[in-house]
């Protein structure tokens, strides 16, 4: 893995340690890299007793990047979970990612040790909902 992905994985892992997951106990960390910005944006899942108010790690990272930059294009996403096999972003997160990423964007999936798998975004969500094409 390259040095930048390793750095992003460490950011995701650190964010995971901040997850607020008292209900599911399923802590997730994420990190995104935005095209043209050297910042690695962290995210962690934040659960709520009203489950619909829960926000996933990937969406938290995206929200932070948009709040800071406005319009963004995601260069890559890293997800860190304590699972075997590795966990992919949920369908809701994939749909949100589709607003900010090209189909060929890499998604790096890791456990608590390292990135274990790389997939292209288009392979996770081949047909995103897009009202712009209607």
Catalytic, 58? Answer yes
Q: Which residues contact 30 (CB under 8 A, 6 or more apart)?
A: 12, 15, 42, 43, 44, 56, 57, 58, 60, 61, 77, 78, 79, 80, 89
Q: Which listed residue (3, 14, 47, 58) is catalytic? A: 58
With H, G, I as helix, E, B as strand and everything else as coil, classify residue 92: helix
Task: Determine the straight-line distance between the first and last CA of the chain, rounded to whole angstroms.
Answer: 39
- The Cα 62–Cα 73 span in angstroms is 10
Q: For residue 73, give both structure tokens.
A: 């294009």
Q: For residue 86, give both structure tokens.
A: 């590795």
Q: Which residues are catalytic?
A: 58
């Amino acid at each position: 893995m390259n040095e930048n992905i390793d750095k992003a994985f460490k950011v995701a892992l650190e964010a995971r340690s901040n997850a607020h997951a008292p209900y599911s106990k399923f802590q997730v960390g994420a990190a995104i890299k935005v095209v043209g910005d050297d910042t690695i944006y962290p995210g962690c899942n934040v659960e709520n007793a009203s489950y619909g108010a829960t926000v996933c790690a990937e969406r938290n990272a995206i929200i932070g990047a948009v709040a800071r930059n406005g319009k963004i294009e995601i260069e890559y996403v890293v997800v860190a979970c304590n699972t075997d096999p590795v966990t992919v972003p949920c369908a809701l997160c994939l749909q949100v990612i589709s607003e900010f990423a090209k189909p060929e964007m890499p998604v790096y999936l890791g456990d608590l040790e390292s990135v274990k798998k790389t997939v292209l975004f288009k392979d996770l969500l081949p047909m995103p909902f897009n009202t712009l094409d209607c």
